[in-house]
Amino acid sequence: MDRNLKNDLCQKFAIVGSVLILFAGTWAQALEVKPYGRLKFSSITATQKVMSFSKETHSAITHAGQTASTPEAQKKYDESARSTFQTQQSRLGLNVSEGDNLKGKVEIDFVDFNQSTHGAGNQFRIRQGYIEYGFGDFTLTGGQKWITFSGVVPHTYNIVQASFYSGNSGFIGQELSLKWNASEAFTLYGALGARGKNTTATQTKQELGYLPALTLRGDVHLGMGLVGFAAIYGKMNNEDLDTNTSSTFEDSTSYAYKVFTDLKFSVLNLKSEIFYGENTEDLALLALAGSNYSNANKRSVQTYGGFLSLSTALGEKSSVWAGYGMAQHNKASEVIAANGLSRNELIRLGADYAAKENFKFFLELTHFQTQYVATTDADEKATVAELGMNLTF
């Protein structure tokens, strides 16, 4: 390259770079960036094989694993107690704001369901990344976030499990939502979102067609908290799938609706949810695995459940909580394949102590009673103890 041309290009790059740096610095002065996070370390012990959603790991235990009656070695393995140490449910994030009406959030955590006891090679995942813009009584939010259908979550330090598969429904997804603060007593939400998720490199029924998932939600604000309702609907274009070679597939619908509460009575906090839905896992609501429409059998799956969670303070530094949750498929033996989940229940007890305002020690006991569609050993029971410490910032 000619020396003069090279020098000219370097000068131009330097000028452009200086302008960009100056612009970025000026813009950064108008932005408020606040890091936040949670560092959680715990020891987890289970009385038998346990599952974290579909994986046999301790990352975020959701239910008791299915044990085998034969061969003897497999039976012994499944029924053996197990323990581990975990930091997977730690998370980091940034809240970004410009003025009072423009905000954004990016959040990652360190959950890797492919590693039961993780090490330095652990992967992180992006949990949330969205933009929020307010105008008048309205707020427009778009990105990957807790979907509008989500409602409330129970009291627990198992924050990734959060009673999914046992009474909670509605997870993180891609969504555009509009919030209207109609009055001090009522908030109305409407949302358009992705129909579930697709983590493959090939488009599938969640993306075929023009119609997104539709969500409507209303929160009634009371003096003691809120009572809310939510409904979500999505259509799956199964007839357009390339696997429909014999033209026998039929389009299906997925929906769910629920009522939830978050109420305070003096020092007592009550959270609850009750839901009912059809083909809920086609919308990735995490209500209970197996709730998917079957093209082969032209069969839909109805699922229902709910949770109740209570927490109260014990003095200034301690709190205790208790909860129950359940999710079940209707007529599971007729619509769920062998060895699939039929019903899952949990009972949870916990307590924590604040050594400092943002640093707590905690102990949480969870008992799972899980039913599978099987001819033998269909009912499984597992008790999980988690002892740890939690730092928030």
- What sign for the dihedral angle of Cα 38, 42, 56, 342? negative
Contact call for residues 291 and 280 (beta carbons, < 8 A): yes
User: What is the distance between the alpha carbons of residues 214 and 174, in angstroms, rounded to a whole number?
Assistant: 12
The pLDDT score that the predictor gives to residue 131 is 98
**Residue 188 resides in a domain:** yes
Residue 10 is assigned to a structural domain of this protein: no
244: in domain? yes
Number of domains in the chain: 1
Contact 59, 116 (CB under 8 A): yes
Q: Is residue 25 part of a domain?
A: no
* 3-class state of residue 156 by DSSP: coil
* Residue 2 forms part of a structural domain: no
10-residue mean pLDDT profile of the chain (393 residues): values are 51 55 57 95 98 95 93 95 96 96 96 86 88 98 98 97 98 98 98 92 90 98 97 95 91 97 96 99 97 91 99 96 99 92 98 98 99 82 99 98
CATH number at 166 reads 2.40.160.10
- Check residue 30 and give its pLDDT: 76
Shortest CA distance to 232 belongs to which of 210, 256, 249?
Answer: 256
On whether residue 28 sits in a domain, the answer given is: no
Half-sphere exposure in the Cβ direction for 173 (13 Å, CA): 30
Give a yes or no: residue 21 inside a domain: no
Q: What is the pLDDT of residue 255?
A: 98
Does any domain span residue 73? yes
Cα distances (angstroms) measured from residue 124 to each of 92, 112, 120, 236, 297: 10, 7, 11, 31, 38
Residue range 105-135, pLDDT digits in tens: 999 999 988 888 888 877 889 999 999 999 9
Parent domain of 118 = 33-392
- pLDDT value for 9: 47
